[in-house]
Structure 1
Amino acid sequence: MNTSTKIAVVTGGSRGLGRNTALALSRKGIDVIVTYHSQKEQADAVVSEITAMGNRAAALQLDAGLVSSFEDFAARLTDVLQTQWNRTSFDFLINNAGFGINAPFASTTEEQFDSLMNVHFKGVYFLTQKLLPLLADQGGIVNVSTGLARFSLPGYSAYAAMKGAIEVLTRYMAKELGPRGIRVNAIAPGAIATDFGGGGLKASQEMREYIGSVTALGRAGEADDIGGVVASLCSDEMGWVNAQRIEASGGMFL
């Protein structure tokens, strides 16, 4: 076994940007542990794809919005690291798990707000905290934000506010984890045609054309536009990039 191989944990890695990120990491020679909420078959398919590339992978169930489950997850992660890699740590944490709710500010409910908060901010905060003992020194964290933290579209006030909080948290993580050599950055995708938020952009040609009209590169984004950017932040070439918000939007609303 090559004990020098790096290992990344990608939350929400069974589909969309998480899946694309997992595959991009694998292409860089990084082994991957993906988490999934309910789509086990899709997560297993990602594992199979990575294995076919010649790298190692595993899938673990995780409810990213249920803080009380994080201790059990950390125990299961510890076991997988030991049994499959003969290691007690991993190198990169990609906080990607999430979902979207489109609701006007005036009618967003407390239930909707709390569900977004639990996954997109509280979950990220406490899952990262719980996994810190397993995260290797000189490792890295990538938090997924959104272009909506810079520009505004109706219906995303709660979601974007959580992601704005993630961007602030990213800087604080970088400051406090710096003594361990752990870099922390945020990536902010623009409008991406995936199944996220019901897949409206993926299904609607009219919406894709609108996004293209307000984007400097003239089109909506695809998952393939994002995974490689995340993977690059886990490379030695990006080793001096820290505490940054990197927007990958093709130049939306410039």
Structure 2
Amino acid sequence: MNETRIALVTGGSRGLGRDMALSLARKGLDIILTYRSKKEEADEVVKQIEALGRKALSLPLDMNAFSSLEAFVKALIIELKTVWQTEAFDYLVNNAGMGATVPFEKVTETLFDEFLNVHFKSVYFLTQKLLPHLKEGGGIVNISSGTTRFANPGYSVYASMKGAIEVLTKYWAKELGPKGIRANVVAPGPVETDFNNAAIRSNPQMKERLAGLSPLGRVGTAEDIGSVVAFLCTDEAKWINGQRIEVSGGING
């Protein structure tokens, strides 16, 4: 009988994270997902995962509340012991995020600090705290953005933080490799989800413009991204390490 593998997906209650969690479950993994405030949405994803025959649970996690990370890790370990009789898991998907399109000259220190906490500082230190519980042979998948390669006005804060994550991933691949832990980045291009609903889904002109940037003639869907993340959390991807994989339909910038 194959050993059960467990993936932790932050921000797994909606959008890209929801499909990542479901795609991982379809690959035969059990799932722990986090949510910031929408417990009902997270519970619905748990039900969908259980319908696929996998175990799942959800835990609250606010990446902007940096001081709460320690309590989250303790709660996670309790659940691992209770549900799986272990203190370790196999894959960490750092997906939780927030979006905003704000011109550079209008960015406030408060907004900057929130983006810093959610997209970089908390990812850095949460992963550090979880490292003792990440199994040898497992992996980390960080979620970045196509906007680290091509500039999109209004994304100076978001893209800067994602650029930092891409550099950090290279260091994790180098430093954690001796532990048998891989680290990679998935960088989506324009994707139609509730994360950027105002920018794409409810703006037909923008959607048409962004679709025209791809040789495939459309914007991305959550399923386009989740399947790639799930692949990186399998033995088939065991020789992929320290890589940035852009999933943008071939946008040239």
TM range (shorter): over 0.9
Q: Quote the Cα distance in structure 2 between the aligned partners of 1:45 and 1:191.
A: 26
Q: How many residues align?
A: 253
Q: Which amino acid in 2 is paired with 1:50? A: I
Q: Quote the Cα distance in structure 2 between the aligned partners of 1:65 and 1:33.
A: 20
1:137 aligns with 2:136: yes
Name the residue aligned to 1:51. Answer: 50
Name the residue aligned to 1:164. Answer: 163
Name the residue aligned to 1:215. Answer: 214
1:85-114 deviation per Cα after TM superposition (whole angstroms, max 9, x unaligned): 111100000000001111111121111111
> Matched residues, percent identical?
56
Say if 1:65 and 1:122, in contact at 8 Å, map to a contact too.
no
After the TM superposition, which segments of 4 or more aligned residues of structure 1 sit over 3 Å from their partners? none
Name the residue aligned to 2:11. Answer: 12
- TM-score normalised per structure 2: 0.98
Name the residue aligned to 1:32. Answer: 31
Q: Quote the Cα distance in structure 1 between the aligned partners of 2:128 and 2:65.
A: 14
Q: Quote the Cα distance in structure 2 between the aligned partners of 1:62 and 1:186.
A: 21
1:125 aligns with 2:124: yes
Say if 1:101 and 1:112, in contact at 8 Å, map to a contact too.
no
1:112-147 deviation per Cα after TM superposition (whole angstroms, max 9, x unaligned): 111100100001001101111111111100000000
- TM-score normalised per structure 1: 0.97
Q: Quote the Cα distance in structure 1 between the aligned partners of 2:232 and 2:221.
A: 19
Cα distance, 1:157 vs structure 2: 0.4
- Taking the TM superposition and a 5 Å limit, the aligned residue runs for 1:1-254 are 4-254=3-253
Cα distance, 1:166 vs structure 2: 0.3
Cα distance, 1:204 vs structure 2: 1.6
Cα distance, 1:198 vs structure 2: 4.5
1:192-240 deviation per Cα after TM superposition (whole angstroms, max 9, x unaligned): 0011145421122211110111111110111111000000000111100
Cα distance, 1:253 vs structure 2: 2.7
Range 9-18 or range 57-66, more displaced: 57-66
Say if 1:99 and 1:197, in contact at 8 Å, map to a contact too.
no
Unpaired segments ≥5 residues, structure 1: none
